Structure 1
Amino acid sequence: MSVAGLKKQFYKASQLVSEKVGGAEGTKLDDDFKEMEKKVDVTSKAVTEVLVRTIEYLQPNPGDALLDAGESMKRLAEVKDSLDIEVKQNFIDPLQNLCDKDLKEIQHHLKKLEGRRLDFDYKKKRQGKIPDEELRQALEKFEESKEVAETSMHNLLETDIEQVSQLSALVDAQLDYHRQAVQILDELADKLKRRVREASSRPRREPKPKPREPFDLGEPEQSNGGFPCTTAPRTTASSSFRSSDKPIRTPSRSMPPLDQPSCKALYDFEPENDGELGFREGDLITLTNQIDENWYEGMLHGQSGFFPLSYVEVLVPLPQ
């Protein structure tokens, strides 16, 4: 950087520090000018947003493919929920009912039968020492329990067709689930293949760098914060900016001076934290400071903030 450029940067930095730290008052702008500046900022952001959305609409990006995949995953989840419900109703609940009622009842009858068998065998072994009537009653109870347990087990074994039907319902539910899953994934694969073909057939756009616009510095800069002024007699701030004799030309806010530390945005950057500076691809940002090896501080459209170094290409580096 030339000596004149270094001096200019020093003057500007000194003025900025005086205003930020020392409370020095810079040149005031009239309300009409500030209002127009706000409207221009809003217009700039709106136009940029419309351009970006229009390009996305005309040339869909991979986000549409992700939406297709997400919708298919949602359908798979719904099919899986249907499988869970069907298996519970037609397989798990009937088997649980079998365990809680029929099998439990059979176990009760078998346990009761075993108790009466032991009682009968004990009395039969002591036959002659105990009354015959007591032995006869023990035999009748044993035979009764044996008949009840036998009937319960017979009924259970005769209903094996129900268990087979329940198992068949489980397999059918799984088969239906996998059939629907295959259909959903086939449809998704066809959509993605179609998008790949469309993207492959689309003519490739070569980057066309825009020529840099010549920067008009306007009138010679003074030590009043960088705003040009005329040699007309002193007037109020409002009247000086409204004068129609000689319009004041202000530097373009999208193109900082070439001898001023600046960088060009390579990608869009959306601020996520307070103090960060958002910008769009192609914006030219004035560099004011390097925070560390990964972050810069700069100004764009009258706003100051921090942004990552990896998102920009330095055009004019900061003085060492």
Structure 2
Amino acid sequence: MQEASTQLEDSLLGKMLETCGDAENQLALELTQHESFVEKEIVDPLCNIAELEIPNIQKQRKQLAKLVLDWDSVRARWNQAHKSSGTNFQGLPSKIDTLKEEMDEAGNKVELCKDQLAADMYSFMSKEGEYGKFFVTLLEAQADYHRKALAVLEKALPEMRAHQDKWAEKPAFGTHLEEHLKRAVVRLHCPLKPVSCCSWRRA
């Protein structure tokens, strides 16, 4: 628009293109600043939550489920070996002891994973208020952007309407003769009243 306005200097269309082009440039600048702020202050922190903290908790939960299955498996084997030995432990003492150690180790891993998962979840929940502020900030930023954009438009529209209202060089083609003569008299600053169509026809 601005480039085209330089080719149409001193014309209504040129002025319209220039004013509208300036307004569009200001709107683009406001939008760029708004998007940059949103990306830095809102999107990046939320992506960190979505891509790191939440997946880490999900990973811990899957790990805990696997450890519980391993613990249940070794405990079942220990119970089976214990029952198979009967009241006499002389036949399978080493195997039972080995399974007991495996079961205790698996149980310890389960407890450690539970503690880690609980710590991660408590840490996440403790920041819930902080995370909620991101969404408030997002709407505030959007409201601010729309206010600034509206201010740009409210400034440009009166200027464009003024150009339209003040423009005297209106086309003669397709205009009533009386209206055309009135505008011609105004342009020439003639004190005489413009002749009417009927008078012109009689002359």
TM-score (norm 2): 0.66
Q: Is 1:197 aligned with 2:165?
A: yes
**1:75: Cα distance to partner?**
0.5
Q: Distance in 2 between matches of 1:149 and 1:126?
A: 27
Q: Percentage identity across aligned positions?
A: 26
Q: Distance in 1 between matches of 2:120 and 2:67?
A: 17
Q: Distance in 2 between matches of 1:149 and 1:83?
A: 38
Q: Distance in 1 between matches of 2:125 and 2:75?
A: 33
Aligned match of 2:71: 120
- The runs of 4+ residues in structure 1 deviating greater than 6 Å are none
Return the letter of the residue paired with 1:92: V
Larger Rg: 1
Deviations 1:186-205 (A, max 9, x none): 111111122233236x9622
Name the Cα RMSD after superposition. Answer: 2.2
Q: Is 1:79 aligned with 2:30?
A: yes
Q: Is 1:101 aligned with 2:57?
A: no
**1:103: Cα distance to partner?**
1.8
**1:185: Cα distance to partner?**
0.7
Deviations 1:72-130 (A, max 9, x none): 00100111101110110011100111123212322222222111100111122233324
Listed as ranges, the matches of 1:1-320 within 5 Å are 57=10, 60-128=11-79, 129=81, 130-131=96-97, 132-199=100-167, 204-205=183-184
**1:138: Cα distance to partner?**
1.3
Aligned partner of residue 78 in structure 2, secondary structure: coil
Q: Distance in 2 between matches of 1:61 and 1:88?
A: 40
Structure with the bigger RCO (C-alpha within 8 Å, sep 6+) is: 2
Return the letter of the residue paired with 2:49: L
**Structure with the largest fraction of helix:** 2
Return the letter of the residue paired with 1:99: A
Aligned match of 2:193: none
Q: Distance in 1 between matches of 2:23 and 2:114?
A: 59
Equivalenced residues, count: 149
Aligned partner of residue 122 in structure 2, secondary structure: helix
Unpaired runs of at least 5, structure 1: 1-55, 207-320
Q: Distance in 1 between matches of 2:158 and 2:122?
A: 55
Q: Distance in 2 between matches of 1:112 and 1:92?
A: 29
Q: Distance in 2 between matches of 1:100 and 1:190?
A: 48
Q: Distance in 2 between matches of 1:205 and 1:139?
A: 101
**1:180: Cα distance to partner?**
0.8
C-alpha contact 2:12 2:164 (8 A) present in aligned 1: no
Deviations 1:287-310 (A, max 9, x none): xxxxxxxxxxxxxxxxxxxxxxxx
C-alpha contact 2:30 2:148 (8 A) present in aligned 1: yes
TM-score (norm 1): 0.43
Q: Distance in 1 between matches of 2:63 and 2:105?
A: 15
Q: Distance in 2 between matches of 1:72 and 1:172?
A: 23
